[in-house]
Amino acid sequence: MSLSSSSQVLPIPPAAAHPLAAAKAAHSSTSSVEPDAAPWPNLHAPDAVRTSTSAANAGSGSQGYRALRVFLRNPTAMLGCGFLLAVLLLAVTAPWLFPGDPLDMVAQPFLWPGQDAAYLLGTDSMGRDVAAGIAHGARVSLLVGVSATLIGLSLGIGIGAVSGYFGGWVDDLLQRVVVLFQTIPSFILLVVLVAIAQPAISTIVVAIGLVTWPTVARLVRAEFRALRHKEFVLAARALGYSHSRIILREMLPNALPPIIVTSSVMVASAILLESALSFMGMGDPNVVSWGSMIGMGRDLLRTAWFLTAAPGLAIVFAVLAFNLIGDGLNDALNPRLSQER
pLDDT at 337: 54
- Quick one: pLDDT band at residue 130, thresholds 50, 70, 90? very high
What DSSP state is assigned to residue 167? Answer: -
Question: Between 302 and 267, where is the model more confident?
Answer: 267
First to last CA, the chain: 71
- For residues 279-293, average pLDDT: 91
Q: Given pLDDT bands bounded at 50, 70 and 90, which one contains residue 47? A: very low
For 182-193, the pLDDT digits (tens) are: 888 999 999 999
Q: 336 or 271, which is more confident?
A: 271
| Distance in angstroms (rounded) separating the CA atoms of residues 150 and 340 | 33
pLDDT digits over 138-176, tens only?
A: 999 999 999 999 999 999 999 999 999 998 999 999 999
pLDDT in tens, 57-72: 444 556 778 888 888 8
Mean predicted confidence (pLDDT) in 32-47: 44
Could you give the percent of the chain with pLDDT greater than 70? 79
Q: Determine contact, residues 290/308, Cβ cutoff 8 Å.
A: no
Checking 142-146 for CB contacts under 8 A at 24+ apart, the result is: 142/87, 142/88, 142/91, 142/271, 142/318, 143/201, 143/205, 144/201, 144/204, 144/205, 144/208, 144/270, 144/271, 144/274, 145/267, 145/268, 145/270, 145/271, 145/274, 145/318, 145/322, 146/267
Mean pLDDT of the region 234-263: 91
Whether 3 has a pLDDT exceeding 80, the answer reads no
Give the mean pLDDT of 31-38: 44
Which has the minimum average pLDDT: 43-47, 97-101, 210-214, 229-233?
A: 43-47
Q: Give the count of beta carbons closer than 10 Å to the beta carbon of residue 109.
A: 13
Instruction: Please report the pLDDT score of residue 335 as a whole number.
Output: 59
Which domains are present in the chain? 135-340 (1.10.3720.10)
Contact partners, residue 329, CB within 8 Å, separation at least 6: 71, 77, 257, 260, 261, 264
Residue 195 CA, chain-centre distance (Å), reads: 30
Residue 84 has pLDDT above 60, yes or no: yes
Q: Is-contact 300 125, C-beta < 8 A?
A: yes
Query: Where is pLDDT greater, at 116 or 30?
Result: 116
Give me the percent of the chain exceeding a pLDDT of 90: 56
Where residue 1 falls among pLDDT bands split at 50, 70, 90? very low
Confidence at 25, pLDDT banded by 50, 70, 90:
very low
Reduced 3-state DSSP string for 86-139: HHHHHHHCHHHHCCCCCCCCCCCCCCCCCCECCECCCECCCCCEHHHHHHHHHH
Q: What is the pLDDT of residues 182-232, one digit of tens each?
A: 888 999 999 999 999 888 899 999 999 999 999 999 999 999 999 988 999
pLDDT at residue 247 is higher than 70: yes
- Say if residue 89's pLDDT is above 90: yes
Average pLDDT, the chain: 82
- The HSE-up count of residue 333 (CA atoms within 13 Å, CB side) is 17
3-state SS, one letter per residue, for 252-300: HHHHHHHHHHHHHHHHHHHHHHHHHHHHCCCCCCCCCCHHHHHHHHHHH
Contacts of 269 (CB under 8 A, 6+ apart): 212
Split at pLDDT 50, 70, 90, the class of 333 is confident
pLDDT tops 90 at residue 301: no
